[in-house]
Structure 1
């Protein structure tokens, strides 16, 4: 196969979307998209996470294997899969309801005042529990270079790590998240594309 510079890809544009994870065996939750959609269009049932810092998004599929050794060979004769994982890491730049609730792992609730008829005060409170409830989510990562589009769908996932928030006079607040795929009917997720990279010749 000859070298082809036109096959070198960049990701100058993209977006992250989240939704509640689908509920296996029922019609509840979110239905993960099975098509590429259109650029800058939020998939049905999902919410956009807005700007991501200039480092972009890091996708890391991993397979951990264990060698099987034999008496008759100085090298492994087989490798056995011990575990598989797929993680997505990004640093969100927008401070809004979706990003802050995702980062803090809790929901904003308006502080009420007045008795016997409570009235909203315009102040919102986010409770950080000492025994937090781990919420499952569904994640879609879109990226494109002109008309060439890719979409990675993780139907069921959970936040596994959060970075520190740096409060600074000269730099905006950022929310660093690592999201790990979880099993969904035998799958970690899937990637869709219209890129001309597959040889369909019979």
Structure 2
């Protein structure tokens, strides 16, 4: 197949959305099945994290394997999956309820009828289960990555400076959801080479 520069994609537009992880009960988060519009509109039941800094969003699928070695060969004869992971990392630029509660791992509580809000940092913090959606778009082609269940696995440090805005660096790690880590949707025909049957899945 010849090289085709029209198939190169960037991600100049996008957004990251969050909702409670699906619980299966009444009012539970419904996972999106449409590809979206590149981040302009949040999926039903999800809220936007707002601006992400210029580094964008990093999506990292990873599979760790162990080699299977045998007496008759000096090289492995196959590899066995040891573990798998799927992480999403972004640094958020807006100071909001969503970003600060996700960063500190606690909830804001309004103090009476005043304009004062308080967030208590527990010595035994809990970990909330979230559902994460990342949308991006280039050349009219949309992509959507959906992680049904995730937790914040890592946080960066807030730097308070006179000349730089506050930023909240978060890494979300996917959890198992019915045997899957998540899924990706797209309307980009580049992923179709005409050889794979339609799965209907």
TM over 0.5: yes
Distance 1:28 1:70, change over 3 A: farther
Report how far residue 32 of structure 1 moved.
1.0
> Residue 103 of structure 1 contacts residue 177 of structure 1 at CA under 8 Å; is this kept in 2?
yes
Structure 1 vs Structure 2 CA RMSD: 1.2
Report the count of equivalent residues: 194
Which residue in 2 is equivalent to 1:130?
123
Which residue in 2 is equivalent to 1:49?
49
Q: Which secondary structure does the structure 1 equivalent of 2:98 belong to?
A: helix
> Residue 22 of structure 1 contacts residue 28 of structure 1 at CA under 8 Å; is this kept in 2?
no
Measured against aligned partners, the alpha-carbon deviations of 1:131-176 in whole angstroms (never above 9, x if no partner) come to 1111000000000013111000000000000000000000000000
> Residue 36 of structure 2 contacts residue 142 of structure 2 at CA under 8 Å; is this kept in 1?
no
Map 1:63-102 onto structure 2 (within 5 A). Answer: 63-102=63-102
Report how far residue 27 of structure 1 moved.
4.4
The answer to whether structure 1 residue 5 and structure 2 residue 39 are counterparts is: no
In the superposition, the TM-score normalised over structure 2's length comes to: 0.93
Structure 1 stretches of 5 or more lacking a match? Answer: 113-119
Which residue in 2 is equivalent to 1:200?
194
Which residue in 2 is equivalent to 1:35?
34
Structure 2 stretches of 5 or more lacking a match? Answer: none
> Residue 162 of structure 1 contacts residue 178 of structure 1 at CA under 8 Å; is this kept in 2?
yes
Task: Please identify runs of 4+ aligned residues in structure 1 that moved more than 6 A.
Answer: none
Q: Which secondary structure does the structure 2 equivalent of 1:187 belong to?
A: coil
Measured against aligned partners, the alpha-carbon deviations of 1:19-73 in whole angstroms (never above 9, x if no partner) come to 000015x445211101112340110000000000000000000000000000000
Q: Which has the larger radius of gyration?
A: 1
Map 1:14-29 onto structure 2 (within 5 A). Answer: 14-24=14-24, 26-29=25-28
Measured against aligned partners, the alpha-carbon deviations of 1:96-147 in whole angstroms (never above 9, x if no partner) come to 11111111111111112xxxxxxx1110000001111110000000000131
Q: Which secondary structure does the structure 2 equivalent of 1:61 belong to?
A: strand
Measured against aligned partners, the alpha-carbon deviations of 1:166-198 in whole angstroms (never above 9, x if no partner) come to 000000000000000000000000000011121
> Residue 15 of structure 2 contacts residue 48 of structure 2 at CA under 8 Å; is this kept in 1?
yes
In the superposition, the TM-score normalised over structure 1's length comes to: 0.93
Of 176, 179, 184 in structure 2, the residue corresponding to residue 183 of structure 1 is 176
Distance 1:10 1:49 in 2: 21
Q: Which secondary structure does the structure 1 equivalent of 2:193 belong to?
A: coil
